Amino acid sequence: MHASSALHADKHHERDSVMTKLRLAIIGAGPAGIYAADILLKAEREFDVSIDLFDQLPAPYGLVRYGVAPDHPRIKGIITALREVLDRGDIRIFGNVRYGTDITLDDLQKHYNAVIFATGAVHDAALGIPGIDLEGSYGAAEFVSWYDGHPDYPRTWPLDAEQVAVIGNGNVALDVARVLAKHADDLLPTEIPGNVYEGLKTSPVTDVHVFGRRGPTSVKFTPLELRELGELRDVDMILYDEDFDYDEHAREVIAGNKQVLVIDRVLQQWRQREVGQASRRLHLHFYAKPIGFVDDGEGRVGAIRYERTAPDGQGGVIGTGEIRELPVQAVYRAVGYFGSPLPGIPFDKRHGVIPNHEGQVLHTKDNTQFYGVYATGWIKRGPVGLIGHTKSDAMETVSHLINDLGNWWTPSDPSEAAIVELLRSRGVEYTNLDGWHNLDAHELALGEAEGRTRVKVVDRDEMVRVSNRPQ
């Protein structure tokens, strides 16, 4: 059901006189939270809406700012759309506010009628194979946070490996492989932070190996992501003939799926390229299931061990029993993101999400609705889908929120001033929309001084200081 028609589907409830204003808190200022706010404000409804958007980071946009490689120019279009929503001025932003400490569930129930959690999934999913804890074994999400200048991650990264493995066949795996293989100077036109540039510039890497347990027709990345790999300067693309002996099922997939057809064409073109001239090589290994990391004798990764797989004729793979080892000194695990539990809110530990029915949060014990509490985005459905999914996801959640009017919380102090007073009384140095404009302008000025588009401020305290400085 669309949010715009949600009220009309529930007209038989004479509830309009009970509550004429919705005070809503949204936890998470990434695309999921911003889209939910925008959809609700544009929905056909019979009550006023006042929305406060909270984020633990001083700047908005979530994974669009801190989870996408800096050399993706198309992301700027997404940020432009999100900026337009925030710049209307009908959504208040409170940045640098941590849910669970700076503001609690009890606080939300006291000052709001409902809350939507849009906290996403920012940690690495587990990969249970031997050697996972060796030095040199890294989660891709942590590496992405480092090269995107996330303020809560170290400023340095141990880039001392000549041979590197990346596990995964999704877009994040390709992002990580591309950043590792790309020459640092070629990232200067982007908004890559200065400390990241300096770190990558000293990297001795010569070979990056990407491992996927299935074949080339089963990859999860998009043609655009794949093409970008082939455009890297001074990097040879290495593919292996044994991975392209397609079975009948693979040929049918190529013939019936345009995206797979394009991916196959790109890969086949790379197979025809002459290699051997570049200083770096990016290898794509298909039908290769990682089964462990080998200790080099000093507690570090010395090799990756994997099993050669084979197609099962139905799109899946089976193990062949053939075990191989490849010398590497670092491994990046890009096997998916995983959500984090939130104080006072039910959590599904197996799937890393808040248990819910179409965005209505459910109690874990009896599966009944947790009234007043909603979820949207990756914390609702897991880390799958693109921006388009996030919009439809928010629409579904907002529709239920509107129809649940009779079950909203009844706050004791719903005034807009109350939450400001609360944060100030706790000494929370929050940032707002004007503060984000200050930080945005400051980063653009830093970039202009260096002949670049933007230079991100990485330090949290500096972000807050720049945001809140007097004009």
Domain at 46, CATH number: 3.40.50.720
- Contacts of residue 427, Cβ cutoff 8 Å, sequence gap at least 6: none
Neighbours of 268 (CB within 10 A): 12
Alpha-carbon distance values, 255 to 170, 328, 438 (Å): 22, 36, 52
Closest C-alpha to 328, from 308, 352, 304, 345 = 304
What is residue 8's DSSP assignment? Answer: G
> Are residues 284 and 381 located together in one domain of the fold?
no
Distance CA 259, CA 244 (A): 17
- Let me know if residue 271 belongs to a domain: yes
> Are residues 145 and 291 located together in one domain of the fold?
yes
- The CB-side HSE value for 360 (13 A sphere, CA atoms) comes to 15
- Let me know if residue 192 belongs to a domain: yes
- pLDDT given at position 46: 81
Counting other chains too, the contacts that 262-271 makes at CB distance below 8 Å and 24 or more residues apart are 262/223, 263/216, 263/217, 263/219, 263/221, 263/223, 263/226, 264/216, 264/217, 266/223, 266/226, 266/227, 266/230, 267/216, 267/226, 267/239, 268/244, 269/230, 270/230, 270/237, 270/239, 271/239, 271/241, 271/244
> Are residues 90 and 150 located together in one domain of the fold?
no
- Let me know if residue 462 belongs to a domain: no
- Contacts of residue 129, Cβ cutoff 8 Å, sequence gap at least 6: 290, 291, 292, 293
> Are residues 161 and 309 located together in one domain of the fold?
yes
- The CB-side HSE value for 125 (13 A sphere, CA atoms) comes to 15
What is residue 85's DSSP assignment? Answer: H
> Are residues 137 and 206 located together in one domain of the fold?
yes
> Are residues 166 and 181 located together in one domain of the fold?
yes
Q: Where are the alpha helices (DSSP H) in 221-362?
A: 223-230, 248-256, 258-271
- pLDDT given at position 19: 43
For residues 13-31, b (16+ Cβ closer than 10 Å) or e, as one string? Answer: eeeeeebeebbbbbbbbbb
For residues 195-217, b (16+ Cβ closer than 10 Å) or e, as one string? Answer: bbbebbeebebebbbbbbbbbbb
- pLDDT given at position 73: 66
Alpha-carbon distance values, 254 to 41, 157, 251, 393 (Å): 43, 40, 5, 30
- Let me know if residue 33 belongs to a domain: yes
Question: Which residues is 139 bridged to in the sheet?
Answer: 333
- pLDDT given at position 126: 87
> Are residues 35 and 99 located together in one domain of the fold?
yes
**Mind giving me the DSSP string for 234-271?**
TEEEE--GGGG---HHHHHHHHH-HHHHHHHHHHHHHH
Summarised one tens digit per residue, pLDDT across range 211-227 is 999 999 999 888 988 98
Question: Which of 268, 302, 337 finishes a domain?
Answer: 337
85 close to 205: Cβ distance less than 8 angstroms: no
- In a 3-state reduction of DSSP, which class is residue 314? coil
- pLDDT given at position 418: 98
- Let me know if residue 438 belongs to a domain: no
Alpha-carbon distance values, 27 to 134, 181, 452 (Å): 35, 36, 33
Dihedral sign, CA of 388, 385, 383, 211?
Answer: negative
> Are residues 281 and 391 located together in one domain of the fold?
no
Question: Which residues is 385 bridged to in the sheet?
Answer: none
Structurally, the chain folds into a number of domains equal to 2
In CATH, what number is assigned to the domain containing residue 298? 3.50.50.60
- pLDDT given at position 11: 38
- Let me know if residue 463 belongs to a domain: no
> Are residues 61 and 112 located together in one domain of the fold?
yes
Question: Which of 430, 446, 465 finishes a domain?
Answer: 430
Alpha-carbon distance values, 235 to 180, 230, 272 (Å): 11, 8, 15
- Let me know if residue 469 belongs to a domain: no
82 close to 88: Cβ distance less than 8 angstroms: no
**Mind giving me the DSSP string for 415-434?**
-HHHHHHHHHHTT---B-HH
Summarised one tens digit per residue, pLDDT across range 328-380 is 999 999 998 899 999 999 999 999 999 999 999 999 999 999 999 999 999 99
- pLDDT given at position 17: 42
- Mean predicted confidence (pLDDT) in 416-422: 97
Question: Which residues is 410 bridged to in the sheet?
Answer: none
Residue 239 has pLDDT above 70, yes or no: yes
- Let me know if residue 295 belongs to a domain: yes
For residues 374-384, b (16+ Cβ closer than 10 Å) or e, as one string? Answer: bbbbbbbbbbe
* Average pLDDT along the chain: 92
- pLDDT given at position 388: 67
Percent residues over pLDDT 70 in the chain = 94
Distance CA 94, CA 59 (A): 9
> Are residues 171 and 83 located together in one domain of the fold?
no
Q: Structural domain of residue 360, as residue ranges?
A: 3-122+339-430
- In terms of Cβ atoms closer than 10 Å to its own Cβ (0-12, 13-18, 19+), residue 420 is middle
Question: Which residues is 301 bridged to in the sheet?
Answer: 295
Token pair listed for 148:
């995107």
- pLDDT given at position 234: 97
> Are residues 134 and 246 located together in one domain of the fold?
yes
Q: pLDDT band at 92, cuts 50/70/90?
A: very high
Question: Which of 396, 413, 430 finishes a domain?
Answer: 430
What is residue 76's DSSP assignment? Answer: H
Summarised one tens digit per residue, pLDDT across range 6-35 is 434 443 344 444 446 999 999 999 999 999
Amino acid at 308: R
Token pair listed for 280:
């770096």
> Are residues 324 and 349 located together in one domain of the fold?
no
Distance CA 119, CA 114 (A): 16
